[in-house]
Amino acid sequence: MAQLWGGRFTKETDQLVYNFNASIEFDKKFYRQDMEGSIAHVKMLGKQGILTEQESREIVTAIREILKEVEAGTLEISHEYEDIHSFVEAALIERLGDTGKKLHTGRSRNDQVALDMRLFTRQEVLETDELLNELLNVILTIMENNVDTYMPGFTHLQKAQPVTLAHHLGAYFEMFKRDRQRMEDIYRRMNYCPLGSGALAGTTYDLDRYDTARQMGFTGPTLNSMDGVSDRDYLIEFLSALSTIMMHLSRFSEEVIIWNSNEYQFVEIDDAYSTGSSIMPQKKNPDIAELVRGKTGRVYGTLISLLTTMKGIPLAYNKDMQEDKELTFDAMDTVKGCLALFTGMLSTMKFCREQMEASAKHGFTNATDAADYLVNHGVPFRDAHGIVGKLVLYCIEKQAAIDDLSLKELKEISPVFEEDIFEAVSMETCVKKRLTIGAPGQEAMKEVIALEREYLSHDWKQTLEDWETELLK
């Protein structure tokens, strides 16, 4: 048991209490961020004359050594320490003696952990954004190649009107684009530095909080020290955005599973992204899509868990907040894994054009267009709706599509129909005529695709203030 705060105590901590309280098992995940924050802090202490320049330099050098050894595997992050902060401080004291003991001047673990988690999450936001960007690129390429690939559009999972594969996937493009925009919003809102908030009320040292914020690429320091140590909103926002990504991935997965089914055969998932059955030799299962759909629940669970943890906590820091880590780390890894795998599955998936088109031709997806034809020839819409309803009934009995009927049969249902009805209800016409922006018509679709290409050609991450941290080098 190695702890930082033994002075006030006369008895050893009970072993079970110690185990229950310790966080090193999971907070070691941000050892880099912890060391980065310590270096920035100590450099600032040196500049401010709170430590001597010499002490500051010695500590910075020693922390960099500790980092190198940890990464080389020659120094193990020992679970004997309560948390990553204690481990780093102990390793420093072992090397520098009394100078090492000065590291924690003007700092509390409360602002330290708030900083570490923020630095870690900020990086996660960027990585998640990049994975979304890759997914968007894959989707847009498929769209560009499929403006003429017809398929049925559905409502209630019943065939409704013909669309194209480009149009259908374009809906997902919009969803994941908004997910990226959320990453940018979150990044900009969270990018303030809590270091220097102390335990809750700042410190009596003349810290330069603008300096530490700048060293670590933050927009500035947080402006209230109690909020600085107890804000976890940014995690809740991130988990909410991650949950939304999973909701989108899960809907898309559900469609892939349906499309890949024996009944639909709209797509064929690549062998590399499918799995077999131990008993049924014919099986090729969409396990990746099912797992993505399945993992959605655990990401939602994390969001609800943290919201619940936070809701009753009085200001400022309380130990409840240590619970912000384990599940959040799991959610971050889960979403990144799902995004990468889904993108791989999508980019290797085969779309079966003939099946999709054949399916779009059946199921009366052109019934609305038949009604519109009548409307264009002077029939009030409600009457046209009724006439086409009868027409559909007739077709069902005959097991035929509207365009399979003869003009004579059509005229028996309504004399308004003429030879040009066949052209008017062909699948190609039904799609082509839908040309308001956002609709599946090829001309409208090409306009949207060009806009989205333009969107993808700029990366908001590159507009971030240019800073390259030298702190860990």
Which one of the listed residues 274, 277, 347, 385 is annotated catalytic?
A: 277
**Nearest CA-CA partner of 328 in 41, 107, 113, 20:** 113
Shortest Cβ 27–ligand ARG spacing (Å): 6
Which CB, 12 or 443, lies closer to ligand ARG? 12
Per CB under 6 A, the segment of 6-14, 60-68, 95-103, 313-321 that binds ligand ARG is 313-321
Burial of 17 (0-12, 13-18, 19+ CB in 10 A): exposed
**Nearest CA-CA partner of 370 in 359, 360, 381:** 381
Radius of gyration of the CA atoms of the chain, in A: 30
Which CB, 116 or 179, lies closer to ligand ARG? 116
The string of DSSP codes covering 394-434 is HHHHHT--GGGS-HHHHHHH-TT--TTHHHHTSHHHHHHT-
Distance CA 361, CA 354 (A): 11
Question: From the list 29, 32, 102, 109, which residue makes contact with ligand ARG (rule: CB under 6 A)?
Answer: 109
Site membership for ligand ARG, residue 30 (CB under 6 A): no
Hey, CA dihedral for 44, 464, 192, 93, is it positive or negative?
negative
Question: From the list 319, 408, 458, 473, which residue makes contact with ligand ARG (rule: CB under 6 A)?
Answer: 319
Beta strand residue intervals within 13-172, DSSP E: 150-155, 158-164
Annotation marks residue 104 as catalytic: no
Annotation marks residue 277 as catalytic: yes
Which CB, 12 or 459, lies closer to ligand ARG? 12
Per CB under 6 A, the segment of 155-163, 208-216, 266-274, 318-326 that binds ligand ARG is 318-326
Site membership for ligand ARG, residue 83 (CB under 6 A): yes
Site membership for ligand ARG, residue 86 (CB under 6 A): no
Per CB under 6 A, the segment of 107-115, 144-152, 282-290, 368-376 that binds ligand ARG is 107-115
Which CB, 113 or 306, lies closer to ligand ARG? 113
User: 3-class SS at 94?
Assistant: helix
> Cβ atoms within 10 A of the Cβ of 287, count?
15
Site membership for ligand ARG, residue 321 (CB under 6 A): yes
**Nearest CA-CA partner of 240 in 286, 287, 305, 143:** 305
Q: For residue 150, what are the β-bridge partners?
A: 164
Shortest Cβ 317–ligand ARG spacing (Å): 6
Site membership for ligand ARG, residue 113 (CB under 6 A): yes
Catalytically active residues are: 156, 277
Footprint of ligand ARG on this chain (CB under 6 A)? 23, 27, 83, 109-110, 113, 317, 319, 321-322
